[in-house]
């Protein structure tokens, strides 16, 4: 397989709200990231993925973008952002952004115009439908609960795969595509090295909007069904690539759930739509079919098998991006380890598996010190809209408040979104003010500073792993070598 810079890279994911606050307002920012660039360089990081830092009303914490060209002032200015790109470059660190183009915010000027005038060009950037009766156009379920359809005061329904404040963009509209391509190229010209591409599989749907068989007591069917019944994603993704990424030497990683198996080559093969995509196979093992209330207990053998299978499938095709955690998942140390192994040794084992696998390793902020889940005592302690929705769903499905809370504590996206633990001082050294989301009280024991001075710490182990992976003597093997499972499952008789 061809050698590419990104295949030999280690990526670090930053959730900007929670990484480092430089001005005491309790929210992480660009200057905070700049302060920590030496730390990241020291960890052996080549690429930073920064979660959405665009203008946004933050209904879904930045995944609801109201202006793709402006950064959110809570993080600083566009100049600060450019300064960050430059400072990172000085340390040979590239920056990739989150590309959120399945939907935008209902506050985006396109949607605002479309709401006012059903006949304007912007109205064709979204999916609007009217119905004869007062019912939604069909029975599809949004990923954050309820129907995918919400209604405007003038009676039109509009479509949203996620929250009602995140209207889906119509990728079957050529003018919309042009606007998106223009924006992507604008950022590429600014020197960003690529994108993590959000919820991209959801852009395809059957726009005649038929009903599908219900899969839950609400009479609705899931977004997974919507995706699996649709076809033609390849044409759209190729068009996207040709007009943008292909013109630059960039790295793209798709957030792709439920792709059709035979599409792997088309997605991440040598001439694929993306450089790589995330391997979520281990994360899907604990997800409940209809919600967190149905989550399944973790089984270590199933984890190993999922990992082996994913590796084997990708081996002759392309490269996966390997993750233990991200901003949507609970902490790996709390999820993927049996109770007896939730200690430094267990965490190091996960790190070894993830960083030395074939594929592009991603480290999520705090993973490198073994940060753990946060134990909330009430639903009030969560910020994430998805968590609140899952809590309500669990109650509706008959869980007690305590059971619903236990599900959220295990699965909540806020587990990974709590502030980074830098030291044992107030608020873990993340802010001098009041953090936007409460710090995990275990910061007095788990933090960067204590681990710096301990040669056997998880942090120093991560440093050794990245150094080993990139050591000129081994880099070819770890990057382009073959994955051979040693201890395989014994087939059932």
Which residues are near ligand GLC by CB under 6 A?
A: 60, 63, 100, 162, 198-199, 255, 327-328
Angle at CA of residue 240, ends 12 and 123, nearest 5°: 110
β pairing state of 251-254 and 194-197:
parallel
Least distance from C-beta 163 to ligand GLC, angstroms?
A: 8
Residues within the interface to Ca ion (CB under 5 A): 21, 23, 25, 27, 29
| Nearer of residues 200 and 347 to ligand GLC, judged by Cβ | 200
Distance CA 355, CA 335 (A): 18
| Nearer of residues 87 and 383 to ligand GLC, judged by Cβ | 383
Per-residue tokens: 62: 């930045």
Residue 407 contacts residue 295 (beta carbons within 8 Å): yes
| Nearer of residues 106 and 255 to ligand GLC, judged by Cβ | 255
| Nearer of residues 104 and 114 to ligand GLC, judged by Cβ | 104
Q: Does 235 qualify as catalytic in the annotation?
A: no
Least distance from C-beta 198 to ligand GLC, angstroms?
A: 5
DSSP-based three-state secondary structure for 151: strand
Least distance from C-beta 204 to ligand GLC, angstroms?
A: 15
Q: Does 426 qualify as catalytic in the annotation?
A: no
Cα torsion 291, 295, 300, 301: sign: negative
Residue 253 contacts residue 360 (beta carbons within 8 Å): yes
Q: What is the dihedral of CA 356, 357, 362, 367, to 10 degrees?
A: -60
Q: Which of 21, 60, 98, 255 is catalytic?
A: 255
Residue 72 contacts residue 172 (beta carbons within 8 Å): no
Partner touching 121 among Ca ion, ligand GLC, none, CB below 5 to 8 Å by kind:
none
Those residues whose C-beta lies under 8 Å from the C-beta of residue 415, and which sit 6 or more positions away, are 329, 330, 331, 334, 373, 374, 409
| Nearer of residues 18 and 457 to Ca ion, judged by Cβ | 18
Partner touching 122 among Ca ion, ligand GLC, none, CB below 5 to 8 Å by kind:
none
In this structure, the number of other CB atoms found within 10 A of the CB of residue 401 comes to 12
| Nearer of residues 346 and 419 to ligand GLC, judged by Cβ | 419
Residue 363's φ and ψ, nearest 5 degrees, are -115, 125
Residue 413 contacts residue 329 (beta carbons within 8 Å): yes
Partner touching 100 among ligand GLC, Ca ion, none, CB below 5 to 8 Å by kind:
ligand GLC
The 8-class DSSP code of residue 221 comes to B
Residue 203 contacts residue 169 (beta carbons within 8 Å): yes
Q: Which residue, judged by CB position, is nearest to ligand GLC in the bound state?
A: 63
Least distance from C-beta 14 to ligand GLC, angstroms?
A: 14
Distance CA 453, CA 51 (A): 30
Least distance from C-beta 100 to ligand GLC, angstroms?
A: 6
Per-residue DSSP letters for 285-332? GT--SSSGGGPPPP-HHHHHHHHHHHHHHHHTT-EEEE-S--TTS--H
Q: Which of 198, 279, 329, 414 is catalytic?
A: 198
Partner touching 198 among Ca ion, ligand GLC, none, CB below 5 to 8 Å by kind:
ligand GLC
Distance CA 332, CA 307 (A): 14
Residue 255 contacts residue 203 (beta carbons within 8 Å): no
Partner touching 27 among Ca ion, ligand GLC, none, CB below 5 to 8 Å by kind:
Ca ion
Distance CA 20, CA 38 (A): 13
In this structure, the number of other CB atoms found within 10 A of the CB of residue 312 comes to 12
Least distance from C-beta 371 to ligand GLC, angstroms?
A: 18
| Nearer of residues 21 and 136 to Ca ion, judged by Cβ | 21
Partner touching 23 among Ca ion, ligand GLC, none, CB below 5 to 8 Å by kind:
Ca ion
Least distance from C-beta 430 to Ca ion, angstroms?
A: 10
| Nearer of residues 223 and 459 to ligand GLC, judged by Cβ | 223
Partner touching 60 among Ca ion, ligand GLC, none, CB below 5 to 8 Å by kind:
ligand GLC
Partner touching 136 among ligand GLC, Ca ion, none, CB below 5 to 8 Å by kind:
none
Distance CA 276, CA 416 (A): 23
State the Rg of the chain over Cα: 22
Distance CA 192, CA 215 (A): 42
Least distance from C-beta 86 to ligand GLC, angstroms?
A: 27
Q: Which residues are catalytic?
A: 198, 255
């Amino acid at each position: 397989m061809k050698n590419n810079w990104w295949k030999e890279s280690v990526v670090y994911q930053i959730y900007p709200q929670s990484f480092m606050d430089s001005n005491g307002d309790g929210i992480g920012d660009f200057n905070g990231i700049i302060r920590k660039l030496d730390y990241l360089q020291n960890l052996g990081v080549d690429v930073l993925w920064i979660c959405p830092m665009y203008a946004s009303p933050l209904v879904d914490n930045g995944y609801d973008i109201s202006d793709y060209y402006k950064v959110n002032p809570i993080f600083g200015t566009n100049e600060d952002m450019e300064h960050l790109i430059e400072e990172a470059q000085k340390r040979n660190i590239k920056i990739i952004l989150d590309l959120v183009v399945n939907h935008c915010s209902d506050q985006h000027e396109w949607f605002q115009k479309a709401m006012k005038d059903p006949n304007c060009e912007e109205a064709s950037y979204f999916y609007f439908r009217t119905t004869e009766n007062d019912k939604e156009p069909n029975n599809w379920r949004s990923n954050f609960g309820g129907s995918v359809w919400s209604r405007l005061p003038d009676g039109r329904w509009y479509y949203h795969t996620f929250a009602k404040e995140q209207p889906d963009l119509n990728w079957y509209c050529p003018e919309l595509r042009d606007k998106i391509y223009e924006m992507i190229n604008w950022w590429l010209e600014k020197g960003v090295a690529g994108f993590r591409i959000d919820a991209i599989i959801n852009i395809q749907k059957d726009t005649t909007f038929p009903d599908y068989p219900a899969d839950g007591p609400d009479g609705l069917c899931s977004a997974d069904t919507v995706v699996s019944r649709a076809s033609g994603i390849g044409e759209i993704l190729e068009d996207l690539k040709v007009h943008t990424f292909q013109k630059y030497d960039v790295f793209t990683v798709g957030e792709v759930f439920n792709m059709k198996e035979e599409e792997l080559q088309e997605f991440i093969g040598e001439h694929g739509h993306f450089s790589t995509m995330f391997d979520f196979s281990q994360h899907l093992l604990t997800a409940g079919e209809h919600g967190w209330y149905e989550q399944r207990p973790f089984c270590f053998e199933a984890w190993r098998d999922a990992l082996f299978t994913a590796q084997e499938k990708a081996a002759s095709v392309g490269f996966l991006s390997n993750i233990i955690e991200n901003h949507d998942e609970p902490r790996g140390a709390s999820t993927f380890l049996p109770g007896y192994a939730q200690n430094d040794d267990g965490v190091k084992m996960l790190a070894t598996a993830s960083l030395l696998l074939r594929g592009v390793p991603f480290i999520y902020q705090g993973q490198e010190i073994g940060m753990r889940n946060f134990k909330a005592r009430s639903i009030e302690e969560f910020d994430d809209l998805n968590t609140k929705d899952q809590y309500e769903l669990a109650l509706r499905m008959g869980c007690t408040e305590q059971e619903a809370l236990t599900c959220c504590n295990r699965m909540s996206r806020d587990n990974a979104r709590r502030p980074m633990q830098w030291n044992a001082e107030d608020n873990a050294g993340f802010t001098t003010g009041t953090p936007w989301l409460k710090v995990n009280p275990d910061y007095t024991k788990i933090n960067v500073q204590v681990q710096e001075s301990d040669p056997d710490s998880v942090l120093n182990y991560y440093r050794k792993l990245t150094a080993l992976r990139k050591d000129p003597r081994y880099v070819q093997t770890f990057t382009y070598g073959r994955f051979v499972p040693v201890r395989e499952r014994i087939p059932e008789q």
